[in-house]
Structure 1
Amino acid sequence: MLSFLKGNPVEVINDIQNKTILILEVNNMGYEIQILSRFSQKIVENQLENIQVFTCLQIRDDYPILYGFATVDERDLFRQLINVNGIGAQLAIALIDTLGLEKLVQAIINGNTRSLSKTPGVGQKTAERIILEFKNKLSQFKNLLGKPLSSSAAIPSLEVLEDLEITLLALGYTNKEINQAVSTLSKDNQILKNHNGEDWIKEAIIWLNQNENLT
């Protein structure tokens, strides 16, 4: 099995199914690898050369498909997800691409179906199935990153988060703006210790008003 490939990116394209495909040249051979859109942005924006891509080879209808990831942790999480009943490769990629590695791990550990359901194609039942599948192996799953989850991956309690999102959505803020506010506020340990939903809403509105040109 291929564990990783090292080579030079030749081209990044979106195919007719809107999948992000990397053409990677390795020893004068071009490999077609489906990658995350966030990985492709990093490659293109930074004009990366001689990159390492961690891979997972899947056989579908006797046709080999190579999936590639920027880190071994993303690749290992992908392998875990496709073992969940009803989660195929494309949905697993969408989950990692939408939430990012740490937020996805945190959402599963905290049983946050609301966050998981932000991924296109993931409904309430699918989110619950993902959480249920990992319920008995949380200790292994928490160590998937090879390190403790950083404070940047911390989030408020589920009850606070739901009140915050409902209120801010009603005030006209977008999901993107709300996620940025939550991500920023969650880096403040003092705020993170506060379980008062009204205080979170107040702090989020203050941050959003101060950073309206950034959101």
Structure 2
Amino acid sequence: MLSYLKGDLIEVIDNIPNRIILILEVNCIGYEIQISSRFLQNLVKNKQEKIQVFTHIQIKDENPILYGFATDAERELFRQLINVNGIGARLAIALIETLGLEELVQAIINGNIYILSKTPGVGRKTAERIILELKTKLYQWKQRLGRTLSSSMVISSLEVLEDLEVTLLALGYTNEEISQAISTLNKDNRISKNNTSEEWIREAIIWLNEQ
């Protein structure tokens, strides 16, 4: 119905619990669009005033809700997620918001329950259901997009991740900093193929200290 909207960013309302509303004016009409904090950070970082938002309309209790995404790929991922039994729009956005498109798709394709469970509200059973229903679909979807499967999120040892997280938390790093470190190190082939906790911890601390 509405593929995307392109217009002027008028206002952002972020004082509503669990929601961020973007007011976008298109041809003298103001649209209320619910977006993720990750999308908002992008807008603020790039100081964008005229923007394009890919949209998805959902009818809830007879009231239409307009969701907005930075790219059509992100919107497609959202649509795939809400088709999973038990996954609503709020949880789908939380997954995208927490992990980002590339990391989330890769975690599902590789069956990485640990990474998916980092999202608030996603337990082991929910993560398993997402993987079961979307693993093949997302692999094929990513191939159609022509995206090369990266080596990210290929850690086979859950113990390595657990050791890394416990150690970094004990050293005073936040969950967000730890997630960023893991995501960055996973993109390094030399490190991602190493299943030694000590090496991961050492490299993570080096990276974090450079930020």
Q: Quick check: TM above 0.5?
A: yes
TM-score (norm 1): 0.87
* Secondary structure of the structure 2 residue equivalent to 1:181: helix
Other-structure match for 2:90: 90
- The alpha-carbon deviation at position 188 of structure 1 amounts to 2.6
- The alpha-carbon deviation at position 205 of structure 1 amounts to 3.0
Other-structure match for 2:111: 111
Retained in 2: the 8 A contact 1:6–1:51?
yes
Retained in 2: the 8 A contact 1:73–1:144?
no
Superposed CA deviations along residues 2-26 of structure 1, whole A, max 9, x for unmatched, are: 1101101100112533301010000
* 2:12 is the counterpart of 1:23: no
- The alpha-carbon deviation at position 145 of structure 1 amounts to 5.3
* 2:200 is the counterpart of 1:162: no
Q: Please, what is the CA RMSD of the aligned residues?
A: 2.1
Partners of 1:46 and 1:61 lie apart in 2 by 36
Structure 2 counterpart of 1:83, one-letter code: N
Partners of 1:15 and 1:143 lie apart in 2 by 39
Retained in 1: the 8 A contact 2:110–2:153?
no
Partners of 1:136 and 1:189 lie apart in 2 by 24
- The alpha-carbon deviation at position 42 of structure 1 amounts to 1.9
* 2:20 is the counterpart of 1:11: no
Partners of 1:156 and 1:131 lie apart in 2 by 15
Percent identity over the alignment? 70
Partners of 2:156 and 2:167 lie apart in 1 by 14
Other-structure match for 1:178: 178
Other-structure match for 1:60: 60
Structure 1 counterpart of 2:153, one-letter code: I
Structure 2 counterpart of 1:24, one-letter code: L
Other-structure match for 1:130: 130
Retained in 1: the 8 A contact 2:22–2:35?
yes
Superposed CA deviations along residues 173-206 of structure 1, whole A, max 9, x for unmatched, are: 3322222322332333222332333322232233
Superposed CA deviations along residues 29-88 of structure 1, whole A, max 9, x for unmatched, are: 000000111111222333212211000111111111110100011000000000000000
* Secondary structure of the structure 1 residue equivalent to 2:16: coil
Retained in 1: the 8 A contact 2:110–2:154?
no
Moved more, 51-60 or 14-23: 14-23
- The alpha-carbon deviation at position 110 of structure 1 amounts to 1.4
Structure 1 counterpart of 2:23, one-letter code: I
Retained in 1: the 8 A contact 2:57–2:67?
yes
Structure 2: stretches of 5+ with no match in the other structure: none
Retained in 2: the 8 A contact 1:134–1:141?
no
- The alpha-carbon deviation at position 149 of structure 1 amounts to 3.6
- The alpha-carbon deviation at position 118 of structure 1 amounts to 1.4
Structure 2 counterpart of 1:129, one-letter code: R
